[in-house]
Each structure stands twice: as structure tokens, then as C-alpha cells.
Amino acid sequence: MKTLHRFILKSYIGPLVMTFFITMFVLLMQFLWKYIDDLVGKGLGWDVIAELLLYASAGLLPMALPLATLLASLMTMGNLGENNELLAMKSAGISLPRILTPLIVLTIFISVGAFFFSNNVLPYTNLKISTLLYSVKQQKPELIIKEGVFTNLIEGYSIKVGDKDPNTGLMRRILIYDHSKDEENTTVTYADSGYMKPTADQKFLVATLYSGNSYKEVRDNRKPRYSYKEKLPAQKQTFEKEVIIFELKGFELQRADESFFKDSYQTQNIAQLEKTEDSLSKAFNTQIESFSQHVIRSSIFRNPYWGRRQNDVKVTRSLNVDSLYNTLPPVEKISALERAMEFARSTKSYVSSSKDEFFYKQKYIARHMIEWHRKFTLAFACFVFFFIGAPLGAIIRKGGLGTPVVISVLFFIIYYIINITGEKFARELYWTPFVGMWISSFILLPLGIFLSYKATTDSVIMNADFYIEKVKKLFSFSTTRKKHTELSPKTE
């Protein structure tokens, strides 16, 4: 039996590793496509790109691992069934649950590992990738000087190049406006040709100019800055070669402070989420109580001494509003109605604004609970998908990457749509976080139990030949009945 278990594990681990990396590669390509606009043209080094992909891979594991489990179990059992190895095991008196025992144990270990990964590793990687993505988005675009267009990426300068040789990098008709001293375009440099290259550390841009002139307006510092109405004299300098060094500020990656993101619900483990949710719930309940007291004392009963007493004697008050109102003079009646309408409008406005604030805080608390349940749904999804893929592979008996991939993708799309819908409803407070996060697993779990039962009883529910034979028998029965009707004698 140990030899059989080793054989089954060996048949399963290979497809599991292969499908996991294939799935991870596809999801990484989707991630790059999503953030391609934020990454391209920023001059990021390979170390930054590799770090970003590493953290993104960790964040995509909750989607890749269940799909890999489903596809690997389906392929393994399909291969065993297609090669009649599964039939030989059953002929030897080994039941399907006993065949799946080593895979079930391995899936339990994978599920437990997935839980610890979600609780301990995923918050850390979420913090890192949030900080890195924010830093990349704030990064200035890579300094690329285009032909015929002013480049303003260098702080304090505007540069325009007539044309550029793509082979040698030689630029012609270079025009540089210097407004680094916040004095508009008082200094202009023009060169017939030249080269511009950044230093190795990307901190400076060295411009080597040939055959040009520099023009600078001469201002009188004794006069106000913007009092010049007449034309100003200019200094002209001619040069055969001139080197200008520009300081490149903001082109290196400035990493943001991680403390700005550490309080996010995505960067917390279960203990931190429970503590944060408890604090938020207490603060919310306190605010609800304060709101109700404010409405009672400031809107419904404007008298601040209403309902107060100095002892424990029960106070009963009876107030006939109509009788009290009828005792007022006409002028005071109008004044009382106007004040009542004013109080009602004020109360309505206060209730409306408080309602939006309460709804936002409830959604924020729900986000923490959703993240809390997500730690468990990843582990449970691996378990559910195994009990869908393994019996389904034993039933269809098709291996390879053809039929298993189609069926796996179909089931995963169904799971993903239900999961996304449930999470969205939970975020909008239509459902509780528990229902929203677990509904996808609870829907697919009965399907896994049903397929496991059918596979154990050698059902042909997924066998195409079974349905073809049923259709043939149906058509054969219809044809026979029609002929019998035509040949039978007619009765008067």
C-alpha cells in the first residue's frame, strides 16, 4: 500500500507544481498589463521590477493555489483513469476513498500552509507592494528628449531639440531656456549641435554643446522686478564648446514610508484585524449613542432640563400639545410653527449627514471583517476544489491539458464570479461579511460531495458515451413505435 501511495503522490505532485507555475505566470501577465502604464517609461531598474513581481506573486497566490489544486487533481485522476490504472486499483479491491487518502492528507497540509501564508506572509507582502506601487506611481517619467518638443522634466529648464541622430545620439538645433531662478525666460542658450548623457548614478545630465550662443537679459536690481516696460539689454556670448550640467531631481526611485500603509486592513493578520475591528465597533457604538442623545436633547426636546431630576423619585409628565398650542395668541402660534419647522429642517439635515457618516464607518468595519474571513476562505477553497477535481477526473477519465483545463477554468470562473459578487454585496452591507465571503465555498461544497459520491459508486454521469447511447435508444424507440403504428390494422 505504501508503494501505491508513493505512486499516487508522485503522479499528483508533478502536475500540481506545473499547473501552479503556469497559473502564476498567467496571473502575473494580467498584473503587468494592469499596471503597465505606471511602470513603462519610469527608468526602473531590474531590481525594482523583480521586487515588484515577487511581492505581486505572493499577492496572487490566493487565486493561483486553488486553481492549481483543481487542475492538478483533475489531471492526475484523469490520467489514472485514461490509462486504466484506476480500474486496476479498483479491481484489486481498493476503493476510491482509499486511493485518494494520500492526496487528501497532502491537501490538508496545503490548506493549513495556505492559512498560515494568508495570516503571516500575505499582510507583509501587501504592505511592501502597496508602498512600492505608490512609490513607482510618484516616480517621474524617464528623461527622454524628443525631437521638436519642449522637455520640462528637468526642474528649472525647458529644452527643445530640432532633430536627433538615432545611431550616434548627436542632437542638432538645441534650444535651452533657463528659468531656474524664477525670472521667467531671461537666459537662453542655442547650440548648433551637441550631446546629452546622464551620469552613471542618474543624478546629473551632462550637456556638451558645440557652436552656439548664450543670451541673457540684464536687469537693474534697484528697480521693482515687474516694472520693466521698455526692452532690456542682453548679453551675448559665443562659444565653440560648452558643457552644462543639470541636476536630475526626482528621477531616482523615492520609496514611501511604510508607516503610511501599515494601518490598512490588507496589511494586518487575524489578531490585528480583531483588535482593530473591536476598537472601531466600540467607537461606532459610542458615536451612535452620542447621536441619539444629541437628537433627543437638541432637536426633540429643546429644553436642556427636560427629564432631569435630583432624586430617584419617578417623575410622570403629561403634555397636551394641542391644548397648549390653542392657548397661544395668533402671533405666537405662527412663531411657534416657524421655529418648529426650523428645528425639523435642522434635525433632518443632521440626521442625513450622520447617516452617510455611519454608513461609511460600517463599510470600513465590514472591510476588516471581510479580510478576516479571507484568511480562511483561501485554505478552504483548496480543500473544496480538490474534492471537485479528483472525483471529476475519476469520472471523465481524460488526462492531459485539454479537457481538464477547460473544466477547471469553467469551475474557477463560476467560483470567482460568485466570490466577487458575494464580496461586493458584503462591502455594500447588503450581506454580512460571513455570508459574502463563504457563499462561493458553500455553493461548491455540495457539488464536491455529490461528485465524490458519484465517483465512489462508479457513476457514468460525465461519460459522453452514456448520453450518446441514451439518445440512440430514444431515437430507436421512436422509430420502432412509428413503424408499429403504420403496420397495425386500422379498426372501424
pLDDT per residue over 189-217, tens digit each?
Answer: 888 888 888 776 667 778 888 888 887 77
- The dihedral sign for the CA sequence 214, 219, 224, 229: negative
| Confidence bin at 411 (pLDDT 50/70/90) | confident
pLDDT per residue over 283-329, tens digit each?
Answer: 888 888 888 777 776 665 555 455 455 555 555 555 566 666 677 78
The pLDDT, as a whole number, for residue 232 is 62
The pLDDT, as a whole number, for residue 491 is 46
The pLDDT, as a whole number, for residue 219 is 64
The pLDDT, as a whole number, for residue 161 is 86
pTM above 0.85, yes or no: no
* Joined grid coordinates for residue 70: 483543481
The residue type of 101 is T
User: C-alpha angle with apex 141: 140 to 146, nearest 5 degrees?
Assistant: 135
Q: How far is CA 320 from the centre of its chain?
A: 59
Q: Is residue 388's pLDDT more than 70?
A: yes
- The dihedral sign for the CA sequence 261, 266, 270, 275: positive
Please give the C-alpha separations between residue 315 and each of 136, 309, 311, 393, 407, in angstroms, as whole numbers.
67, 8, 10, 76, 73
Q: Is residue 399's pLDDT more than 80?
A: no
The pLDDT, as a whole number, for residue 492 is 44
Q: Is residue 17's pLDDT more than 50?
A: yes
Domain ranges of the chain: 2-139+371-470, 157-247
Mean pLDDT of the 399-420 span: 80
Mean pLDDT, all residues of the chain: 78
More confident position, 299 or 154: 154
pLDDT per residue over 428-462, tens digit each?
Answer: 889 999 999 999 988 988 888 888 888 887 765 55
The pLDDT, as a whole number, for residue 405 is 77
Q: Is residue 276's pLDDT more than 80?
A: yes
High-pLDDT (> 70) share of the chain, % = 77
Q: Is residue 150's pLDDT more than 50?
A: yes
Mean pLDDT of the 263-279 span: 88
pLDDT per residue over 19-58, tens digit each?
Answer: 899 888 988 888 888 877 777 666 677 777 888 888 888 8
More confident position, 251 or 185: 185
The residue type of 94 is I
Contact between 130 and 266 (Cβ < 8 Å): yes
The pLDDT, as a whole number, for residue 11 is 86
Place of cell 460568485: 418
More confident position, 211 or 399: 211
Among 136, 139, 142, which residue's Cα sits nearest to residue 51?
136
Mean pLDDT of the 251-279 span: 79
How far is Cα 463 from Cα 401, in angstroms, rounded to an integer? 18
Mean pLDDT of the 100-124 span: 89
Q: Is residue 94's pLDDT more than 50?
A: yes
The pLDDT, as a whole number, for residue 369 is 92
pLDDT per residue over 213-264, tens digit each?
Answer: 887 776 655 555 555 455 666 677 888 888 888 777 655 566 666 777 777 8
Q: Is residue 68's pLDDT more than 50?
A: yes
